[in-house]
Amino acid sequence: GVLGGMGPESTAELLVRITRATPAAREQDHLRVLIDSNPQIPNRTDALLSGNLSPVVDALVETAGSLVRAGAGIIGIPCNTAHAFLADVRKAVDTPIIDMVDETARRASELFEPGAAVGLLATDGTLRTRLYHEALQRHGLVGIGPPTPGVQNAVMDALDAVKLHGPSEEAYGALGAAVRNLASEGATAVIAACTEASLVLERHPPDLPWLDPLQILAEALVREAQTD
């Protein structure tokens, strides 16, 4: 099951990625995928910055419940910032929920040298909670970010624009500037730690090696569904 809508295009892209990641010799070998794309879930960054968390938690739990009632045996959430609320959602539903942030940090530890500095292209909410900083540290790496304030403001504007209008050259310009800024701070690789950043960098890869949590989530969902 996919607890989506944050934003809608990232959720649609995840279905494409799941389909492509599934080894299938015939149509019937593909997975049954239940999607609740719920853009009415309140803004996650706004909630984290204001401290008013309960409306987001309630909406995530309600949406997860709809997937469980529909028969989902495993759930993925294609929104990095929403993972700040993961523990609350896990308490409310028994169905396993994949931790996209930890999956990505583990993949980074397999690809990069111990102690490597990894830049983070993420929302203010994700950066404020230090979700990726802590996950990378657990796996022996160092998270770098946010970029300098003016650059990060442009990143936030770009991510909001992608939610409304899809990836664009303008959005890549903002993210490209952030990658250069993070590299100047010592980053030797970057993580597209917002699903909208995944959409942009997939079309315009940065100059540094990069990891795509949206792709990693798709692969993890396929892995877990096939071993369920």
Q: How far is CA 212 from CA 72, 107, 138, in A?
A: 24, 10, 19
23 alpha carbon, distance to own chain's centre: 23
Partners of 118 in the beta sheet?
143, 189
How many CB atoms sit inside 10 A of residue 31's CB? 16
As a whole number of angstroms, the distance between CA 148 and CA 75 comes to 35
As a whole number of angstroms, the distance between CA 96 and CA 227 comes to 13
Has 194 been annotated as catalytic? yes
Q: Could you say which of 136, 144, 182, 194 is catalytic?
A: 194
Q: Could you say which of 79, 135, 155, 214 is catalytic?
A: 79
Q: How far is CA 35 from CA 16, 29, 63, 74, 85, in A?
A: 12, 19, 10, 12, 19
As a whole number of angstroms, the distance between CA 224 and CA 175 comes to 32
Active-site residue set: 79, 194
